A and B are shown apart, each in its own frame.
Chain A
Amino acid sequence: MRSGDARAQILRVIRENLAQGLEPSPPRHLAAPGSSPPVPLSVPESSPPVPLSVPERGEGRRSPSPEGRGGQGVRIQHFTEQLSAVGAQWTFVRSETEAGAALARILTEAGARRVVGSDAPVVQRILQAVGNGIAIDRLEQLSRDDLFACDAGVTTAQWGIAETGTLVLESARERSRLLSLVPPIHVALLSTRCICESLGDALARVSTSSHAITFITGPSRTSDIELTLVVGVHGPQTVHVLLMEES
Chain B
Amino acid sequence: MTFDRDARAALADGQLRGALRQATTLFGERRRAALATVPDWESARDRARAIKDETLAHLDRYLEEFVANAERAGARVHWARDAAEACDIIGEIAERRGARTVVKSKSMASEEIHLNAALARRGIEPVETDLGEYIVQLAGETPSHIVVPAIHKTKAQIAALFADKLGIAPSDDVATLTAAARAALRRRFAEAELGISGVNFAVAETGTILILENEGNARLTTSLPRTHVALMGIEKVIPRFADLDVFLQLLPRSGTGQVLTAYQSLLTGTKRTPEDEGPEELHIVLLDNGRSRMLASAVTRQALACIRCGACLNACPVYRQIGGHAYGSVYPGPIGAVLSPQLFGLARSAALPYASSLCGACREVCPVKIDIPALLLHLRGQVVERGAGKSRVLERLAFRAYAAVMQRPHVFEWVVGVARRLRIMPPLAAWTKWRDLRPLAPRSFREQWRAGLRDQGGADA
Contact = CB atoms under 8 A, between A and B. Distances in A.
B347 interface: no
Interface string B262-297: 111111111110011110000000101000111111
B240 A52 contact: yes
A15 interface: yes
Given A11-B60, A178-B277, A223-B148, A38 B50 contact: yes
A181 B49 CA distance: 34
A211 B271 contact: yes
Given A49-B205, A178-B224, A225 B131 contact: yes
Contact of A208 (B241, B249, B256): B241
B31 interface: no
Contacts of B264: 214-215
Interface string A86-120: 10000000000000000000000000000000000
A225 B262 contact: no
B416 to A, nearest CB: 30
B299 A220 contact: no
B154 interface: yes
B190 A144 contact: yes
A138 to B, nearest CB: 13
Interface string B126-159: 0001111001000000000000111001110010
Given A32-B374, A164-B259, A203-B242, A49 B204 contact: yes
B169 to A, nearest CB: 17
Interface stretch (A17-25, A56-64, A121-129, A187-195): A17-25
A17 B295 contact: yes
Interface in B231-256: 234, 239-242, 244-245, 248-249, 256
A202 to B, nearest CB: 9
Question: DSSP class of A's interface residues: helix, strand, loop or mixed?
Answer: loop
A153 interface: no
B114 interface: no
Nearest to B242: A52
B297 A21 contact: yes
B389 interface: no
A132 interface: no
A222 B131 contact: yes
A214 B295 contact: no
Nearest to B295: A17
A48 interface: yes
B65 interface: yes
B174 A214 contact: no
B216 A211 contact: no
Interface residues of B, number: 105
Contacts of B265: 212-215
Contacts, number: 263
Indicate the size class of the contact surface on chain A: 35 or more
B267 A211 contact: yes
B110 interface: no
B217 A234 contact: yes
Contacts of B276: 171, 175, 211
A212 B223 contact: yes
B17 interface: no
B141 to A, nearest CB: 14
Given A52-B205, A230-B174, A166 B149 contact: no
A204 B242 contact: yes
A233 B219 contact: no
A166 B249 CA distance: 13
B215 A233 contact: yes
B262 A221 contact: yes
Contacts of B260: 164, 166, 199, 215, 217
B219 A219 contact: no
A11 B130 CA distance: 33
B377 interface: yes
Interface string B45-63: 0110111011001111101
Given A14-B59, A230-B174, A220 B214 contact: yes
Interface stretch (B175-183, B321-329, B399-407): B175-183
Given A9-B81, A14-B295, A35-B369, 15 more contacts: A6-B81, A14-B60, A18-B57, A36-B46, A38-B49, A38-B53, A39-B50, A177-B278, A199-B248, A200-B245, A208-B206, A215-B260, A222-B215, A234-B182, A235-B220
7 contacts: A10-B79, A14-B234, A172-B272, A216-B263, A220-B214, A234-B219, A234-B220
Interface of A: 2-3, 6-7, 9-11, 13-15, 17-18, 20-21, 25-26, 29-36, 38-41, 43, 48-49, 51-52, 86, 140, 144-145, 148, 163-164, 166, 171-172, 175, 177-178, 181-182, 198-200, 203-204, 206, 208, 210-228, 230, 232-236
